[in-house]
């Protein structure tokens, strides 16, 4: 595939998940990683494996004139909606890590803006195709269980102190959203 035909991606957020996105883009013969963005330095992020322009803000990336098609939003949860809206305003497609936003209003704004500018928004829910998710969805769609009036969800995942690093964003209400957004979203949004 020629470089002109590849889908060009810019990844915002160069932490663990952002690096995973960058690596998956690099492995895809139809995709091309063209930029990474993070408020930290390239050295702090440890992104030396990706030989692409590095920016500290999305505005810097836009001002650079670099051509790209898709923005992957891989930052703390509390930034997802605003950064996705900025990408949509720039007429870019968006791949957004879950959750889309921390409020119903912010998610609706993203959907409305994507329709206004005719761009796609895809929210990453990596468990949507797991065998239990597919099985439950099939049961519901084929009405095997009949009409459903109530659902109870139990999430037994455990996050120990390593997940909640001192000074990090996880566990902060404004940037994390809590377990409903981080763990339970896999169970809620994948089923219905």
List the chain residues with pLDDT less than 50.
Answer: 190-192
pLDDT value at position 40? 93
- Residue pLDDT, tens place only, 137-192: 888 889 998 988 887 777 676 666 766 666 666 555 565 555 565 666 655 554 44
pLDDT value at position 48? 85
pLDDT value at position 180? 60
pLDDT value at position 82? 95
Portions of the chain given CATH number 3.40.50.720: 3-124
Average pLDDT of the chain to the nearest whole number: 85
- Please state the pTM of the whole predicted model: 0.78
pLDDT value at position 166? 63
DSSP codes, 115-159:
HHHT--EEEE-TTTTSHHHHHHHHHHHTTTT-S------------
pLDDT value at position 190? 47
CB neighbour class for 11 (10 Å; exposed up to 12, middle 13-18, buried from 19): buried
pLDDT value at position 164? 61
pLDDT value at position 174? 61
Q: Is 85 helix (H, G, I), strand (E, B) or coil?
A: helix
135, 88, 125: which is closest to 110 by C-alpha? Answer: 88
CA distance 11 to 120: 16
pLDDT value at position 77? 86
**Is the N-terminal amide bond of 51 cis, ω within 30° of 0?**
no
pLDDT value at position 102? 83
Give the homologous superfamily in CATH for domain 3-124: NAD(P)-binding Rossmann-like Domain (3.40.50.720)
């Amino acid at each position: 595939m020629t470089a002109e035909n590849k889908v060009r991606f810019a990844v915002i957020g160069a932490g663990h998940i952002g690096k995973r996105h960058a690596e998956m883009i690099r492995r895809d013969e139809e995709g091309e990683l063209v930029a990474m963005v993070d408020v930290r330095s390239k050295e702090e992020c440890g992104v030396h494996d990706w030989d692409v322009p590095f920016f500290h803000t999305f505005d810097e990336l836009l001002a650079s004139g670099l051509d790209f098609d898709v923005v992957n939003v891989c930052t703390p949860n509390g930034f997802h909606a605003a950064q996705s809206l900025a990408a949509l305003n720039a007429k870019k497609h968006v791949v957004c890590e879950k959750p889309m936003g921390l409020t119903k209003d912010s998610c609706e704004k993203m959907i409305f803006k994507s329709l206004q500018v005719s761009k796609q928004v895809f929210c990453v829910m990596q468990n949507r195709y797991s065998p239990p998710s597919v099985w439950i969805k099939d049961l519901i769609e084929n009405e095997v269980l009949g009409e459903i009036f109530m659902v109870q969800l139990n999430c037994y995942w455990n996050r120990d102190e390593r997940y909640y690093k001192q000074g990090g964003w996880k566990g902060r209400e404004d940037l994390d959203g809590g377990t409903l957004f981080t763990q339970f979203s896999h169970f809620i949004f994948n089923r219905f």
